[in-house]
Structure 1
């Protein structure tokens, strides 16, 4: 019967230990909340239920020794279940002895009191937090009263705005805070009586601080009852609302003034929308601009003012969405008045949030800007007419300058050619002299064309990577010789400049033009300064090249035109008007900028800014075989100009090449598919299939076939520097330059085929 009783207990673990602490019995309660069956645990030491830290502290041995010595051991602590989880246990260990007093073992009773402990802990924590909360609140006076109204507790908020310390006020009657007239009227007693009968009293009224100053208070008194329902006192909460009332009054007055202000504005439509876009207010400006009276639009959707197209495309809804997502919507667009007429509006929509951060609607401000738009349109039209006039003037000057210079060159060319044709039996020496004159004239024409292309930003550039200071130092002696002895060339070249990638020939031409302009501005001699420095512009790194003189300077009305072609500040016959345009074109074509500053009688400063490159300069070597072209080289020549194609064929034939001609890209592509070639030489700019497209399609068909392209324009017009796949030969070219280009291309192709790096 006793065993049945023990086994039926499930809320307690009841089991026996031998004198050494080994388990000899196990009941159902032990199995339920420790997790072990009787078969698993009998014979094991009871220390396996202790935590590792308790075992290290030898608590199981201490428990057995205490129970053996004193007859009983009782404790609470963490124990372990079979699955390793912890529970808080209340444990009793009783010693069991025989009649002769010898120790037979121990009776062990354990109860899981985890939930009880957690409730106790939570209650203590709650009480602690509540006490901390009450004591830390400074915006409210929170304190207790006994049944007679005497103060029994006092928090920081009460001390802050009533002025009393706790030891000054505890035990005092709360009527101390009331005005004398309220005390005489029995208000304190009425408050306690009402709270006792109705469980709560609330009011607003004037109260007194310790220093006698009055403040407006919001007061709540709650009756406090014990568990039996007996009244044991009162809880009193007081808040100083003096400032809040003042702000509310000021806010009301401010809102009234704002309403009067908004209603008085007639140049702006200022009104409110709810969250859906329905109009909730309307000012006199809105009525004046849009034509609707207030009663006509309140409750209407604001898309009423949109055009039919804008309503159909959902622009009104999109505007509200943008205002919510981005904090504001602003736009200029056409809107519709009540009479159906259109006007240009500047629109601003702002979302409105209440004091809790909840979105409650939108503020909408609209201004009629039709007059401004009309003025802007007239200004644009005037500017366009002025720009067109300036273009026509510049084109007239350009055409006149080109006609003048090229007529001079053509006169020499035609006269020399005509003379040679009319006198075929002219001595060889004179024929050679006329031919040299024609070549020199052609070179001058090439130079003039180069300057025009630089102005148009289409000059053929072959960029190299170098340090600008190093290059300028190398050519400074040539510049000084060009200037003559009456001029001092002063160099201020910064060391360790950032590298640039530009055409050195274009740079030298630009620098020479700048230096000669500076010389001409100082006819009596003087000092010309050239400086370099690292410089940033618009967040980009680059190098600045400055050329300065102390000459005559340029008047403001002429300064703004100095980059126009054939416009010159020099006397007639003293300048071509292409120097500064060449500098400007070179700078822009190189990815940089050019600007000029000048004051009359104080001099001129020209600055060229060129972008920095992170590339490193290539190392070039010359072995004397640059112009060697293998005999019998099969070349596909593609050129749409008959004269240029004839000239190129003659050069290739002179180099020992076998030439197949094509007059356009389509023919060239057909030849490349039908025959085998060692090289394709093609112009870039052609109608239909361009040279670049031809090169790409040929490479796709024949990856190892070298392609050489030619152009009188800059390669930058067609292929960015960082994406070049094909070498480009600049026009006009000679036998030597063509041979060198073919040699370099074939050598590179051969090294690549053999696995070498170019």
Structure 2
């Protein structure tokens, strides 16, 4: 009788208490995932649990007494595996293995087998205990994983455009794909175990770039860069590199995944494009310079014609006082227009020194209302709309006025048959992208000047801020008005934009950054300019140009001052060293050979701090230099009134 059946009860009416053996048999039969059964000494089945029946398909009646070798495959039986399994269990006390077994219906399943000998109390062998588990699903999962890994290995090995490989935690190469061999030139046996830094250029290795790359990959979870790398033959290629850190299931760092792509051809193409773009920009620059030179020459020649002709007429005798005054006024007016032209050019180049002050744009524009109405045709209507409250800006107020008027003039010219001009201002959060420039963040004021005129052709829209570019007829415009507005906007930290539709109108929008500073109350320049020095001044004039120096000394003498001239900073310091107390003021040009005027002024300030200093120059970028801001500055060309006012201002500050 098989041992998997419980013994009959001695009481036919009620079951007796369960013995230990009864409980053991119940436990073994309750296990369904494992085949647990006994074999006798010869290997015949002597017990059979429910799990054995489920796994192998035999009932206890069908299998008890049968040799356990019937569960083995024919090839394992021919190889004597069943006998060896029992012999191993008998000799070593245990036999463990995995292998194929056969169910009752002939199907095979992958099993884990454990066999141990069973001994009686005297140590004699009486059989074997056998435990079998079906591992088919685990085997299938392992096979699927292996197949997936193999497919991935084939995929990685099949990639030839990318070098895909792994590094250990210190940067040694631990595997190598076909793409890596193709790009870098090393076979796997040549590079495995070698440090990846050998792919870097000597200069990058010296700077510690490989170690830095791994450090960044660890700290930021990724490292990306483009740089030169070196092949086995020593040639260089431009590489796109990505490094990712690798971790095991416990989160321990086990190495790095590295992908490198050869993008040398793309870099060459980009370099060629950059060179072509630079060449185009240079050609456009030369074209602009040519146009600029022609425009400047034309305008200055006109002004010089007036000056020369007027001067020649003054040489002639017989002119009455009225005519002499007219020629003198013509010379002065031409000089003023030449100075304005120079300032407009410098504003476009962003080298015109600004005198920033804090003001409200709506207040400035409202103050210009009468001037704007004078510019506009009688057939044009004017509308103004300003947000309330409107923020303050810090900029050169006169340059702001000029920019607004220049845009108004343009709008007037665009509406010969009448129309409407609208000037508005509002606070905005940021500046939108303008002319392919990125957007700017922050608080700005946007002043819009919108007309209903003829509009601007698309082909001309991209060039309207260029100096001397104009769509107006000959002698109807210089092409400097909008370039001045552009230069002022840029120099003030802002931007200018334009939107136009042919036949519908144009809208210029000037963006200026808002300021939170408080407006300073200052004495207007006009009040200072009307003040004359209380006494003649003794002035040390420093000027390296002989013609300008002699003329300047004569000019100062005509103004009632005495002047001593030094041709450079060294001579000026030598004169001051001898008799600094004899001078009331130093008047120096900025641009001179050797020590320039700003450096001279600083030296004088250190040695003679109470000596007033006035600097002058025709170079806008010199006067815009922050280093010169602590001194009084006068822009060439200047008038007698401006020169006198600066002297008074410098002397006034010195006595405070």
Q: Does 1:512 align with 2:398?
A: no
1:487-566 aligned within 5 A: 487-535=380-428, 536-537=430-431, 538-566=440-468
For residues 355 and 546 of structure 2, the distance between their equivalents in structure 1, rounded to whole angstroms, comes to 26
For residues 289 and 137 of structure 2, the distance between their equivalents in structure 1, rounded to whole angstroms, comes to 76
Aligned-residue offset at 1:431: 1.8
Aligned-residue offset at 1:393: 0.8
- 1:274-295 Cα deviation digits (max 9, x unpaired): 1232221111211222233323
For residues 249 and 472 of structure 2, the distance between their equivalents in structure 1, rounded to whole angstroms, comes to 72
Q: Secondary structure at the match of 1:561?
A: coil
Q: 1:178: which partner in 2?
A: 32
Deviates more, 1:306-315 or 1:341-350: 306-315
Q: 2:341: which partner in 1?
A: 448
Q: 2:576: which partner in 1?
A: 672
Q: Does 1:485 align with 2:378?
A: yes
1:375 alignment partner, one of 259, 266, 269: 269
For residues 724 and 390 of structure 1, the distance between their equivalents in structure 2, rounded to whole angstroms, comes to 35
Q: Secondary structure at the match of 2:515?
A: coil
For residues 288 and 435 of structure 1, the distance between their equivalents in structure 2, rounded to whole angstroms, comes to 83
Q: Secondary structure at the match of 2:638?
A: coil
Q: 1:620: which partner in 2?
A: 522
- 1:597-638 Cα deviation digits (max 9, x unpaired): 222223222122122233322223579675121213222222
Q: Does 1:302 align with 2:199?
A: no
Q: 1:366: which partner in 2?
A: 260
Q: Any conservation in 2 of the 1:638–1:665 contact (CA below 8 Å)?
A: yes
Q: Secondary structure at the match of 1:280?
A: coil
Q: Any conservation in 2 of the 1:633–1:657 contact (CA below 8 Å)?
A: yes
- Assess, with a 3 A threshold, how the Cα gap between structure 1 residues 689 and 414 changes in structure 2: closer, same or farther: same
Q: 1:465: which partner in 2?
A: 358
Q: 1:689: which partner in 2?
A: 595
CA RMSD in angstroms, aligned pairs only = 3.6
- Assess, with a 3 A threshold, how the Cα gap between structure 1 residues 148 and 562 changes in structure 2: closer, same or farther: farther
Q: Any conservation in 1 of the 2:362–2:386 contact (CA below 8 Å)?
A: yes
Q: Secondary structure at the match of 1:377?
A: helix
Q: Any conservation in 1 of the 2:35–2:51 contact (CA below 8 Å)?
A: no
- 1:393-451 Cα deviation digits (max 9, x unpaired): 11111111111111111112112212322x23433332222111111221221222121
Q: 2:562: which partner in 1?
A: 658
Aligned-residue offset at 1:314: 4.3
Aligned-residue offset at 1:468: 0.9
Q: Secondary structure at the match of 1:539?
A: strand
1:438 alignment partner, one of 325, 331, 349: 331
Q: Any conservation in 1 of the 2:617–2:636 contact (CA below 8 Å)?
A: yes
Q: Normalised by the size of structure 1, how large is the TM-score?
A: 0.65
- 1:470-521 Cα deviation digits (max 9, x unpaired): 1111112210121122112211222332221211221111111101111111
For residues 616 and 148 of structure 1, the distance between their equivalents in structure 2, rounded to whole angstroms, comes to 101
For residues 461 and 475 of structure 1, the distance between their equivalents in structure 2, rounded to whole angstroms, comes to 20
- Assess, with a 3 A threshold, how the Cα gap between structure 1 residues 187 and 342 changes in structure 2: closer, same or farther: same
Q: Any conservation in 1 of the 2:200–2:230 contact (CA below 8 Å)?
A: yes
Q: 1:729: which partner in 2?
A: 634
Q: Any conservation in 2 of the 1:480–1:488 contact (CA below 8 Å)?
A: no
Q: Any conservation in 2 of the 1:469–1:495 contact (CA below 8 Å)?
A: no
Q: Any conservation in 2 of the 1:461–1:714 contact (CA below 8 Å)?
A: no
Aligned-residue offset at 1:381: 1.5
Aligned-residue offset at 1:735: 2.3
For residues 666 and 521 of structure 1, the distance between their equivalents in structure 2, rounded to whole angstroms, comes to 57
1:638 alignment partner, one of 535, 539, 542: 542
For residues 149 and 566 of structure 1, the distance between their equivalents in structure 2, rounded to whole angstroms, comes to 113
Q: 1:705: which partner in 2?
A: 611
Q: Any conservation in 2 of the 1:279–1:301 contact (CA below 8 Å)?
A: yes
- Assess, with a 3 A threshold, how the Cα gap between structure 1 residues 642 and 488 changes in structure 2: closer, same or farther: farther
Q: Structure 2 unaligned runs (5+)?
A: 1-18, 38-46, 53-95, 99-111, 113-134, 432-439
Aligned-residue offset at 1:390: 0.7
For residues 140 and 514 of structure 2, the distance between their equivalents in structure 1, rounded to whole angstroms, comes to 65
Deviates more, 1:279-288 or 1:618-627: 618-627
Q: Any conservation in 1 of the 2:180–2:186 contact (CA below 8 Å)?
A: yes
Q: Secondary structure at the match of 2:284?
A: helix
Aligned-residue offset at 1:252: 4.7
Q: Normalised by the size of structure 2, how large is the TM-score?
A: 0.75
For residues 559 and 137 of structure 2, the distance between their equivalents in structure 1, rounded to whole angstroms, comes to 101
For residues 180 and 362 of structure 1, the distance between their equivalents in structure 2, rounded to whole angstroms, comes to 43
Q: Secondary structure at the match of 1:269?
A: strand
Q: Any conservation in 2 of the 1:460–1:713 contact (CA below 8 Å)?
A: no
Q: Secondary structure at the match of 2:171?
A: coil
Q: Secondary structure at the match of 1:345?
A: strand
Q: Any conservation in 1 of the 2:354–2:624 contact (CA below 8 Å)?
A: no
For residues 136 and 386 of structure 2, the distance between their equivalents in structure 1, rounded to whole angstroms, comes to 74
For residues 294 and 715 of structure 1, the distance between their equivalents in structure 2, rounded to whole angstroms, comes to 62
- Assess, with a 3 A threshold, how the Cα gap between structure 1 residues 311 and 719 changes in structure 2: closer, same or farther: closer
Q: Structure 1 unaligned runs (5+)?
A: 1-145, 152-171, 190-201, 205-217, 219-240, 752-758
For residues 366 and 641 of structure 1, the distance between their equivalents in structure 2, rounded to whole angstroms, comes to 63
For residues 20 and 541 of structure 2, the distance between their equivalents in structure 1, rounded to whole angstroms, comes to 117
For residues 358 and 717 of structure 1, the distance between their equivalents in structure 2, rounded to whole angstroms, comes to 62
Aligned-residue offset at 1:182: 5.2
